[in-house]
Amino acid sequence: MKISDIRATTVTVPLEAPLLHSNGAHWGRFVRTIVEIETDDGYLGLGEMGGGGESAELAFRGLKNYLVGHDPIQLEALRFKILNPTASLYNNRTQLHAAIEFACLDIVGQKLGVPVHDLLGGKLRDEVPFASYLFFRYANPETGEGEVRTADQLVEHARALKRQHGFMTHKLKGGVYPPEHELACYRALADAFPADRLRYDPNGALSVEESIRFGKAIEDLRNDYFEDPTWGLNGLRRVRSMVDIPTATNTVVITFEQLAANVLDLAVDVILLDTTFWGGIRPCVKAAAVCETFQLGVAVHSSGELGIQLATMLHLGATLPNLTFAADAHYHHLTDDIIDGGKLPYRDGRIRVPDAPGLGVKLDREKLRRYAELYQELGGYTYDRDPGRPEWYPLVPNDRWADPAVRLTPSLR
């Protein structure tokens, strides 16, 4: 069995409403690059990479001659072909490797007639729990619906998601509004769902001092963890020393060197494993084993996935013995998916792990074509350029806690 062809197709899939992020960033739609790998004996494996567009397609095209003829079972050799230390000095190929590894595991599972979770050691759970992953949002520009700006709107949105999907954990993506406003919103969530778990993630937008102040103000709540309140291991280490909530990250511990540094001088209690950022499912499994050895927590992270990467998250989550937290997923914000059968359903806040051979998902060719055409029509998406907050990206003054000039409605500035 040898790789005979590699194809990459960029798609864009609409969201229910634009999602706001820290430092002037926002998502109005998801742009993903779908990878298909064929073998000489007729198997087709699927992979997925975030964003990229034409540049990602060119990168996969450039790897084609390099990888045609490679046996998909030889995953360690594949890793060294793409990620050997010397080559990586000149190329950031981690996410490319992830998408190719997804497809190779899909092929191997199909070849052997087993799901990917069996290739990883076997599943320990049939379903993976997920958090609601709440965002401040602009209204949908076509319908005028979906705005989330105030505490009341946030609670109403969370209630609707809980009714529809059954979430028992609620994560608020912050770093958008002044901290005192987001604190009020977070505490409103806690009041509305006193039996549920909570987590807050401002994407590193707060200073260490703001992070400590915010963390001390929520210590009494049912927090899973305090995710990336500030930037860097040393900043998180200072926050951890002052706040009685576990710290978590998906930004400053995404390599084994960073994981080793964290073990040697602890700054982060919970490592968020992203199958794209870590370079594949197998690196996440390896990282989880290190965390198990050193008694660090792990959770499955989301990076704006469609159904192919979601399947990788499910297979990962099914196999980790030390997974004690609900996973993240942007998935419920999507209006559609490019996999056969449409979006995978939530039930009681969980998604069932696929049991079909390989990743267990197939492409809907019509939707792949439709959303590829939509990408060609709309072009790429600039994640860090929010027309409602054009002045936010450089730096907001550090006295945001009390500055009345920082208004709460960026779209009205």
Looking at the DSSP bridge assignments, the partners of residue 137 are 19, 148
Q: How far apart are CA 336 and CA 4, in angstroms?
A: 31
Tell me which of 21, 165, 173, 330 is the catalytic residue.
173
First and final CA of the chain: distance in angstroms?
A: 59
Q: What residues contact 307, with CB distance under 8 A and at least 6 apart?
A: 337, 338, 339, 343, 344, 361
Is the CB of residue 376 less than 8 Å from the CB of residue 149? no
The 3 state secondary structure assigned to 303-350 is CCCCHHHHHHHHHHHHHCCCECCCECCCHHHECCCCECCCCCCCECCE
Q: Name the helix (H) or strand (E) containing 162.
A: helix 151-165
173 is catalytic: yes
Q: What residues contact 260, with CB distance under 8 A and at least 6 apart?
A: none
CB half-sphere exposure, 118, CA atoms < 13 A: 16
Q: How far apart are CA 314 and CA 300, in angstroms?
A: 9
Q: Name the helix (H) or strand (E) containing 285.
A: helix 281-293
What are the Cα distances from residue 13, in Å, to 33, 36, 261, 370?
11, 18, 38, 9
Tell me which of 181, 301, 330, 367 is the catalytic residue.
301
Q: How far apart are CA 399 and CA 132, in angstroms?
A: 30
Is the CB of residue 185 less than 8 Å from the CB of residue 211? no
Residues 374/376/378/382 CA torsion (nearest 10 deg) = 120
Q: How far apart are CA 410 and CA 413, in angstroms?
A: 5
Pick from 410, 374, 405, 412: which is nearest to 392 by CA?
Answer: 410
> Active-site positions?
173, 301
